[in-house]
Amino acid sequence: MPPEICVRPGECHVWTARAVSVSEDLAVLLDAGERRVYEALTGERVRAQYVTAHALLRTVLGRVLDRDPASLEFAAGPHGKPYLRDGSVEFSLSHSGELVAVALALGAPVGVDVERVPEPAAELPLPVLSAEERAVFDRVPGPERSAAFAAYWVRKEAVLKATGVGLRVDPARLTVSAPERPAELLGWRGREEAVRAGAGREEAVPPHPSVRLYDLDAGSGYRGAVALLGGAHRIVPRVVSSVRC
């Protein structure tokens, strides 16, 4: 990762990295609250996901803002979305399997989601699909259904993260484009009330911001998406070979 990172207005940079092992070297970047969560986790993979994602977020923010990553202070919105107490950089993070992702943008709320494609025999939580999505999904050939479902899911989750409401909103209220189509939010029942509830800060987004949705190349076996509120953004993908302090 370069020592300085410039994120310009109208850009959204998305970093992805693999969380393959627990690193105590990365854990030194965590604050007291993050450290408590990390130490309470059990299982090598879960601990690796958490420490890699949070260390990557702090490292990236530190280099964008030219600040010590360990000194950054976070707060949470009414539904848990984190933000910097004294910064204008918007960010989101996600992890699934061995993959972690961090998205950054200037002045535009952002949400990122990555998910490992379920095994073909896995039972899929189809009630999260809207009626319109389900009508399309039911025509997807069996071998392609897991990947199609993952595409629907990451698009919905990215939108819910960007608006700050998270899974307090039933994902079935959102309708996104079919997996083979460019990513787009097509509809949201009850959107105005949900977005207002998720805003939380005085400078919060208006109740009807435009939602721009983009697919991410998350690599083999994964699907990813990023959503931003406001105008169009250029997505800048950045693959990190390893996360270091």
pLDDT score for 70: 93
Is pLDDT of 160 > 80? yes
CATH of domain 11-239: 3.90.470.20
Mean pLDDT of the chain: 89
Residue with tokens 């039933």: 170
Is pLDDT of 88 > 80? no
Rounded-to-integer distance, Cα 116 and Cα 4, Å: 31
Closest alpha carbon to 102 in 174, 161, 166: 161
- For 46, residues 6+ apart whose C-beta sits below 8 A from its C-beta are none
The tens digit of pLDDT for each residue in 109-139 reads 999 999 999 999 899 999 999 999 999 999 9
The residues spanned by each domain of the chain are: 11-239
Instruction: Judge whether 125 and 156 are in contact, CB under 8 Å.
Output: no
pLDDT score for 205: 40
pLDDT score for 202: 37
The tens digit of pLDDT for each residue in 65-77 reads 999 999 999 988 7
- Percent of the chain residues topping a pLDDT of 90: 72
Phi and psi at 83, nearest 5°, equal -150, 160
Burial grade of 91 (CB within 10 A; 0-12, 13-18, 19 or more) = buried
Report the amino acid identity of residue 222.
Answer: Y
Instruction: For residue 115, list its beta bridge partners.
Output: 223
Is pLDDT of 195 > 90? no
Is pLDDT of 231 > 60? yes
- For 80, residues 6+ apart whose C-beta sits below 8 A from its C-beta are 166
